[in-house]
A and B are shown apart, each in its own frame.
Chain A
Amino acid sequence: MSDSTTLADPAKPAKKPRKTSFTKALNDALDIGMERFPEMFLIGEDIGEMGGDFAVTKNLWAKYGAARVRDTPLSEAAIIGTCVGAAMVGMRPVAEIMFADFLGECYDQIVNNAAKVHYMFDGQFTAPLVIRTACGGGFGGGPHHSQSVEGWFLNVPGIVIVAPSNPADAKGLLLASIESDDPVLFLEHKALYRTRGDVAEGYYTTPLGKAAIAREGTDITVVATMRMVPMALAAADELEAEGISVEVIDLRTIRPYDAETILESVAKTGRAVVANEAPKIGGLGAELSARIHEECFYDLKAPVGRVDGLDTPIPFSVPLEHEILPDQTNIVSAIRVTIEAGR
């Protein structure tokens, strides 16, 4: 499904793939990271003995102890502040912010501190930290447990935003994030936690800043993130029967994003749809659409189509939530409209 480039580690070669859940893949990455980096530690609410709200840190407290798997009170600013300070002196902290909706509580630490210490002190410090957080809707979480937050951070130079769509990438991207010397916001879409896929055992990384061509096609390019990727792949299957060949790009890193792969693909297909779950105004879709228009204008046969969430908060009631979140049907119709417009 993904072309995750695996960097071989001579010490511990990656073994053959096994069907693994997204959650377990993340757990494996943390386990391997903790083994490889003695100065890595985990910090967050209920991540210790309990193993985290989504079980991503399961068993790590028992294996690595309370000093390296640190439970905290509800103090998001102090959690991220602790990570920044420790990272400034060379440790490799990995925080869990239980729900992405709570990132407002530590927004200052991320935006004004983690993202800026390298720049404003002109390279004297780095902030090699990872902030893992559960985002996204579709499960009745309501207005404060369902949001897609990439837009909140898209406009922040210095931060890296990583957003996997499948278990193999989740593991490789998390290990690459841990190794990164830049601060990483690592988005875990809640609807993906239970999905399963082939995941190689042992250590490997998937490069940051590189998109994957999840499916090759010739008529139109769909650029998608997180849960929109499996939806885009299903939409591509559906349209194949009608003779429409869809290329699906899994962006994987949202900032800095891989413009080259997108622009090359659109230059080939001449049509594009960008799909992400967050509200439409000022979001990732707006950025990608603008960039494609700017740089591929003369290759385009139709305006770039956009699939986003509606510009509303996320309501609790399931039919209402379905009404505002984008899905496979929306992707299919956006592709159709873009194909029609270009005839």
Chain B
Amino acid sequence: MERDTLLGLYSDMWLIRAFEQALEREFEQGNVPGMLHTGLGQEATQAALASHLKATDCFFPDHRCHGINALAQQRHRGNGERIMAELFGKATGVCSGKGGSLHSADPAAGNFGDNAVEGSYMATVLGVALASQLRGQPNVACAIIGDGTVGRGEFHESLNMAAIWNLPVLYACVNNGYAISMPVGQGHASADIIDLAKGYGFACDQVDGNDIVAAHTKVGAAIEHIRQGNGPYFLEFKTWRWQGIFAGEFRPEAEVKYWREDHDPILMANEVLQSMGVDIAKLNATEQSQRNMIEEWIAFAKESPSPDLAKATANVYVSWEVAPK
């Protein structure tokens, strides 16, 4: 990989990590309402996806996708702070604060929004892909799905329908080993989700989701395959989330150490970049500049007003008004 490409991805990963860490801090201080699921530890997977998806493509993010949402928003719209403001429930958020952490969308950034009924958009993605196919557009529709959602019937309905209709769908399966507390090998017939996908007969692959170079390359190949009209693609990212369960850490100590210290996507990329001759000071400056930008976004979110109360009853229907209290 070119040094500059990797530097760009390194910077993207820092945007995600800085975003999530600042958000966690604000959440703990009680400034962010609701629930919080972070993408910490999964930065390489998200940065790799974001780097290949165009604004004219579509992605359905999952509950750990603040980072990719912010990256896409910043890249395609130049206002990543609106993702932050959405998480604070503010008027300046991408959905005027009506969606929050689990439902931040901006179609102009290719972001079609999470559905917090985990994995439901495995069905929805088919329609976006079908529209591209019927209209003859070379767009990719991507569903970012956790290993847990593979238990849903929609997984099988979706892969089957995408296969029979040769739809331009990218299934980006983020296998981080657990669904809340359920280990992937205990919840599914195979700990390798690719084994379940293979039966549908379309292209499938796996990648180390913490290795940004490998992930970036494989996402690129998958998207190219789809754009060329070759139908759906299933790509499984093997990764790990820093966040345990609500009660805290439940995973074996050695596993935690491996993923957090020995297989951290940012540290790994940092080493590669240094081996390419990039100065450590430059890498530190990249981190710092992303952290600074995120602090500006936090300030923007905090200073933004709450939504006008009329928003509570707005947009229930297109053709009917709902009366306020």
Contact = CB atoms under 8 A, between A and B. Distances in A.
B105 A86 contact: no
Interface string B49-89: 00000000010000000000000000000000000000000
Interface in B253-267: none
Contacts of B121: 81, 85, 113
B322 A122 contact: no
Given A122-B99, A209-B320, A77 B134 contact: no
Given A109-B120, A123-B314, 8 more contacts: A78-B123, A82-B127, A91-B131, A108-B120, A112-B115, A122-B315, A125-B113, A182-B320
A27 interface: no
Given A67-B134, A120-B103, A157-B316, A88 B160 contact: no
A119 B98 contact: yes
B158 interface: yes
Interface string A198-210: 0000000000110
A332 B127 CA distance: 48
Interface residues of A, number: 44
A158 B134 CA distance: 28
B153 interface: yes
B281 interface: no
A125 B107 contact: yes
B67 to A, nearest CB: 19
Given A82-B126, A85-B124, A126 B319 contact: no
A93 B126 CA distance: 13
Contact of B157 (A75, A86, A208, A256): A75
Given A118-B315, A181-B318, A181-B319, A89 B157 contact: no
Contacts of B314: 122-123
B315 A123 contact: yes
Contacts of A67: 134
A124 B107 contact: yes
A121 B94 CA distance: 8
A112 B154 CA distance: 14
Contacts of A181: 318-319
A301 B121 CA distance: 52
A123 B318 CA distance: 8
B130 A85 contact: yes
Interface in B86-133: 94-96, 98-99, 103, 105-107, 112-113, 115, 117, 120-131
